[in-house]
Amino acid sequence: MITVRLPPSLAIDGRDTLDVADDVRSIAALIDAIDRRVPGFRALFDEGGCNFAVNEELVLHRVRDRALRPGDTVEIVPAIAGGAARLARVSPD
């Protein structure tokens, strides 16, 4: 299980923690899992609106590939610089 800490703007029914029991082995898979529970989360990520901290370490590069293991705690941190509303449209990937 992965424990996800959510910022206030993404809290679910007032809860700021989300337990993801799916077989999640990377941040990419975690994004899918969170998006199923928090609609719009993928869009927020695609806009560059958030970063991920895994076990209190901020991931700033190759974030989708970052491996996760059961027991990890992942915190969603509002990006210092976020809001690339057109990012997905101009990006080849």
Partner 1 sequence: MPIRDRVATLLAELPDSPQYPTQGATVFVDLERREIRQAFTPLPVVRALLGGRGANMFYLYRLLDESLEPLHPDVPLIFGSGVLTGLAPSAARGNATSWSPESGVLMDCNAGDYFPSFMKMSGIDHLVLFGRSPGWTLLHIHDGAIAFRDAAPYVGLDNIDLRERVEADFDGRWTRDLAMAAIARAGEQLVLTSAIMAGPKACYARGGPGAKLGSLGVKAIVLQGQTRDFETVYPYKAYNRTIAQKLLDTAVVKHALKVRGTPFLYKPSRILGAMGTKNNQETTWTDRLDAEHIDPYRPGMAGCFRCPVNCRPLNELGPDAPDRYGRGDGPEYVTLGKFGPNIGVDRIESVIRLNNICNDLGFDTASTGSAIAWAMELYQRGIVTTRETGGLELVWGDAALVERLLFMTSRREGFGNVIADGTRAVERGHYPPEALRYRMAVKGLMQSDPHDARILKAFALGLAVSTRGMDHLRNRVTLEINARINDDPAFKARLYGGPVSGEPNSYVDKERAVRACENTFGVGDAVGMCRFTTKLFNSPSLPGYEEFAAQIANVTGLRFEPSDLDEVGLNIMGVERLINHRLGVGRKDDTLPERWFEEPIQVGAYKGEKIDRREFDAMLSRFYALSRLNEEGVPEVAWRRQLVAMLERKPQASP
**78 in contact with partner 1 (CB under 8 A):** yes
Task: Out of 48, 69, 71, 72, point to the residue binding partner 1 (CB under 8 A).
Answer: 48
**87 in contact with partner 1 (CB under 8 A):** yes
Sequence-ordered alpha helix ranges (H) in 1-93? 27-37, 41-46, 87-90
Distance CA 47, CA 50 (A): 8
**92 in contact with partner 1 (CB under 8 A):** yes
**70 in contact with partner 1 (CB under 8 A):** no
Task: Out of 29, 35, 38, 46, point to the residue binding partner 1 (CB under 8 A).
Answer: 46
Can you tell me whether residue 15 is helix, strand or coil?
Answer: strand
**30 in contact with partner 1 (CB under 8 A):** no
**83 in contact with partner 1 (CB under 8 A):** yes
Q: How far is CA 65 from CA 15, 25, 30, 39, in A?
A: 27, 9, 11, 22
